[in-house]
A and B are shown apart, each in its own frame.
Chain A
Amino acid sequence: MGKIKLLQGNEACAEGALYAGCTFFGGYPITPSTEVAEFMARRLPQIGGAFLQMEDEIAAMAAVIGGSLAGSKALTATSGPGFSLKQENMGFAMLTEIPCVIVNVMRGGPSTGVPTGPGQSDIMQCKWGTHGDHPVICLTPAYVQEIFTETVRAFNLSEKYRTPVIIAFDEIVGHMRERIEIPDPGVLPVVNRTKPTCPPSEYLPYDDSKGDVPPMANFFEGYRYHVTGLNHGTDGFPVNASPRIHTDELRLIRKVEGNKKDIVKFEEYQLADAEVAIFAYGVSGRSAKTAVEAARKEGIKAGLFRPLTIWPFPEEQVAALSKRVKAIIVPELSLGQIIFEVDRCSKGRCGIEGIYRVDGDPITPAQILAKVKEVK
């Protein structure tokens, strides 16, 4: 039995990071994610880790990448406008293949929007926020316990695939408190980056001849190599207008898309015989689960598909679902974003119905139940 606590989602995220071996936090205060930084500011000095409040989110993201390159597991947490600011350096970490974890506690609106209200309208930004083609792993926990375990998983995936991992949850889940159990060390697996075993003179930081994820040397460990945000060769040095750019960018995408079996995670609830499915994540997933229970009590065969990995998108699962249900309902705290992915994978095989809400309150089970009755 681990430690039982009543924790906020944001606090559980910080606990999960520490469990995964995070010793570096770089951030900038922003509602509704600030509790992650506050928690790390208390805890990291106690365990000899580094906590930095930087001058802005751009610098915070930069510091996190620097910390990771110097050998630390590194975390940053932000929301809304801060997530926009981090995009430039997130792209840098994707191209240079430096592991790190970025938490986005989603709030409402474009611009300053609704800082204290929940949102799910950054979900396409999680995928396409930084410029260029790039690999993205994004996890979407919905319960406080799940935020803990998914944060551990985020670090593991990041280290395993040498890529930044985003955790996106909404203000409600970030701020609510639930009972969680923090497992004893060793109960959950903790993955560390694979380091090179060759002599430094032979080290090629981006050598893809033995697999899509090349071993990563930390700075100051005798492997003196070059890291650049320019497209680069296997040795890490810039290349210009070379076929290598094409194949290397394909490899970066393949690292993630080619390992979907390992990365994609989801919960299926009452889906086996469902005639109407709900596709929902985060707080909307919680509402949907309550709605499914209510529908079942009325004899309506409803079920829930709740992704815990939203990127890469669970394409095969949604495609399969679309073949056996009459309709998929997509409730989201936006004016319609993830519904287009569901629609893309369904290829017109079933009805697709959105429920959108951006007024600062969650979509209620009653709203979803009404829609279920409408389409059944």
Chain B
Amino acid sequence: MYKLVLAFRYLYRRRISYLALAAVALCVFIVVVVMTVMDGLVGDFKQKNHNYTGDCVVGTESLVGFAYYEDFARIAEKASYVEAVTPVIKSYALVGVEGSGRNTGVELMGVEAGSYSRVTGFGRTLYYHKNDASKAFEAGSDSNLPGFVIGADLWSGRNEKGEYYYAPSPEATALSVTCFPLTAKGALAKAGTDVVNTKTFYFSDCSQSGLARVDGSIIYLPFEEAQVLCGMTEPVKRASWIHIKFKQGTNIEEGCRQVRQMWGKFYDEYKGKDNAELLSQVSVRSWKEHRRESIAGMEKEQTMLMMMFGLVGLTTVFIVYVVFYMIISHKTKDIGILKSIGASCGDVIVLFLGFAAGLGVIGSAVGVAGGMLFLRNINRIEGWLYERFGFQLWDRTIYAIGEIPHRLDLTMLAVVTGCAVLACLAGAVLPSVGAARARPADVLQVSQL
């Protein structure tokens, strides 16, 4: 009990300990704010990538694609843990506004709007067909015409709030889409001729996935149309990827492992068939593996930022050390009296470490409270700064970021608080040990009093 009383007394009476408290609170505040924003950005980015991909993908990066995808899709659909399956064509195309004579290179994705929306978050990214994604390719001008869905950044600009400009209904714009069909061997189809596969499509919708690279480079076409344009119908039908969504509650890694096994059996069964050599290039990946190149950069930045904060946090350890050194050097007589009435070295160490832990907890609480208050108002503050000074943390016309993330992660809070308490304990260890070693006979001499 006396340890608790003394710890509170030191905290209350020794004003210098307020400084250590302020240092801990400052560090915790900054770390909570920065990590919440960073965590939010990374988490949001990952979620968008997950929505874009589905849970698992089976396929190849080769533009040639792979055969017998329908058979595998049928098998996969029957698995108890699979919710939905959809094939996708991925290739490149030249697109130009009819009559302009100019073409731009884009990535082309051929998708079955209905099933693709069940597997991925495609339906939610649409503007005009959000409520019925199966009609995503119904052109606005005439539902009988073949439609295209285009990445929002290819179609429209963003305002300072990150919002796109959309007409009330789909505009009647026609795009000519040209592909260079490849044979199953990877050679150009119809070689020796100047024939390319070109078809006109009509604007049906915009897709805003929130992924800048996706929204700025992809045009979606109906699966069958894309398959024909890319020459993936002969001699056997081919697709680039099969996207899979698992049933709720399925562990993604476990699901992918089972799909891998399923693919292994399928490969063994089909490897003797025509064009089966394309199957050897097929891999099974989880959404994270599939989008690793995009996600890894942000995760590494988060790690580096944490390392930097760790380094700067060392200063807090120093402060706690100095504060405890001062307190203990002023309280040698108290320590001498405590030891002379029976307190052990361990008791003295526990007393000061307990004080340090209390300091860490209170400092963290202040820092967390300040951080929460700041985060709750962070978007309002940014709005005010923008109105007054034209300052935005991120220019929304450049970055596909909505509001600044401000949702607190309790695990992160616990980790930060834990680190702060540990830092305080680390700073207090040496002075506490020094205090424990004090000998009552030395510190309570008459000459010292």
A and B form one complex:
no
